[in-house]
Chain A
Amino acid sequence: MDKNQNTSNKRKENCSDENKCFELLESILDGEGTADSKEILNEKIAKCQPCFEHYHLEKVIKEILQNKCTKHMVPSELAATIRQKIQDLK
């Protein structure tokens, strides 16, 4: 039986154009999608297992990058040093 044959409740196991699809899914995650591409997204997620997995994995990676990445505190004197140097320029 053809593994890629699509049934109404089972996603196909291989994506015919992963690179293009994944780039599109990522651009939608990044807020760059158009109305059209959102329809395509819903369709892909419903019907294609690699697209479904890629979308959810990229979504959670984006979230941990945003929420968990170490933030570096700006040295307290930096703003004052910059202002002083600007004054010296005048």
Chain B
Amino acid sequence: MANQLNVNPTRQELLKLKVKLKTAQRGHKLLKEKRDGLMKNFMAIIRQAKDLRQKIEEELGQGFFSFIFFSAKMRQTVIDEALLVPTKKVSLEAKTKNVMGVDVPVFEYQEEGDFLSYDLATTSTSLDRALETFSNALKTMVELAEIEHSAKLLAAEIEKTRRRVNALEYVFIPNMQETLKYITDKLNEQERATIITLMKVKDTIAKQEAR
């Protein structure tokens, strides 16, 4: 009885609570379904995210390896000159997709131009190799960004939904059921008391008439 809500034990409150309980139970069911749906989506992409991350670590490792070779062999001014004006442009077409009420980004990778805009005579071939690796890795990176960010957003939503489900399931609904029981008990008690009083009165009257 410790968790019951603070209400007056009246018939009106009882009716109001019954409606509220029904709504809460429906909400609970819906939220539970939402949580399961989110979880399903989350599980589908999280493994993908892990694989992509490992792939990128490998790819970029190679790219940086070539790049370090290039920068070690060249003078800083040559490096700066070679990379000063990029001719390649990349952009992302960003859209959002609605997954169970969560907006997750969807990127479309677009590129134009070529990165080969520097003096081939003064730069080492390591640069070509490094830039090519970077250029290829970028696509994977964007993919990873999309998936990992979606996973992050979904995770936040899952946590929120789970909290709500638990609050309804373990606190709100039991409290309400307890209160309903309390009010019903109290009303029954009142009714019994009334009947007893009536019986007593009837008894007294009967005794008086018999005299």
Q: Do A and B bind each other?
A: no
Residues of chain A whose beta carbon lies under 8 Å from any beta carbon of chain B: none
